[in-house]
């Protein structure tokens, strides 16, 4: 099973110079709780934004580049075929795709679930979430929240499952 997980502002912004444009503690805790002990797939630039591989997760960099200098405990996949082969071989495993925008766009057609943090505010950045046709998705859970930052920001954790086509 493939799940996309991300946070976005009300304009779909997801990044600024390889980092999150905000600090939302509740979102970081949710991300950790959901992805812990699962594979996380990310693009080369997203991985470069981390100081080290995410602990207690199988870190996988998806990039067409063949010569990447990655830590030995980080896997490198060069195509979506490797991702789909993995999910076929491990049908009970949830594989979380964590960014960036190009990887989200490439993997979205194969995704089964979406875990979005919708931040009710606007920020400055340079990376936006690709367009998603939400008519293909069923909202299965929505949890509103308010940050403890000053000024406070409201947000919601929105979980979606792909709608079944047909019967």
Calculate the average pLDDT of the chain. 95
Across residues 121-135, what is the average pLDDT? 96
100 prior amide bond cis, ω within 30? yes
Answer yes or no: is pLDDT of 55 > 90.
Answer: yes
Residues sharing a CB contact under 8 Å with residue 63, sequence separation 6 or more, in sequence order: 43, 44, 76, 77, 78
Q: Which of the four pLDDT bands, split at 50, 70 and 90, describes residue 51? A: confident
φ, ψ dihedrals at 6, nearest 5°: -160, 165
pLDDT tens, position by position, 143-159: 999 998 767 899 999 99
Domains of the chain: 2-162 (3.40.430.10)
Residue 131's CB is within 10 A of a number of other CB atoms, namely 9
Residue 91 has pLDDT above 70, yes or no: yes
Range 56-85 average pLDDT: 94
pLDDT at residue 166, as a whole number: 58
What pLDDT is attached to residue 167?
46
């Amino acid at each position: 099973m493939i799940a996309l997980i991300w946070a976005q502002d009300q304009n779909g912004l997801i990044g600024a110079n390889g980092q999150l444009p905000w600090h939302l503690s509740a979102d970081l805790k949710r991300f950790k709780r959901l992805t812990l002990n699962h594979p996380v797939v990310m693009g080369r630039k997203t991985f470069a934004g981390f100081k080290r591989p995410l602990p207690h997760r199988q870190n996988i960099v998806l990039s067409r580049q063949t010569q990447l200098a990655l830590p030995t405990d980080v896997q490198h996949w060069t195509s979506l075929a490797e991702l789909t082969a993995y999910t076929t071989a491990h049908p009970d495993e949830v594989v979380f795709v964590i960014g960036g925008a190009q990887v989200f766009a490439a993997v979205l057609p194969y995704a089964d679930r979406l875990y979005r943090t919708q931040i009710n505010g606007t920020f400055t950045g340079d990376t936006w979430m690709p367009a998603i046709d939400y008519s293909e998705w069923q909202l299965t859970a929505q949890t509103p929240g308010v940050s403890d930052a000053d000024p406070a920001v409201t947000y919601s954790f929105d979980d979606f499952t792909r709608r079944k086509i047909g019967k």
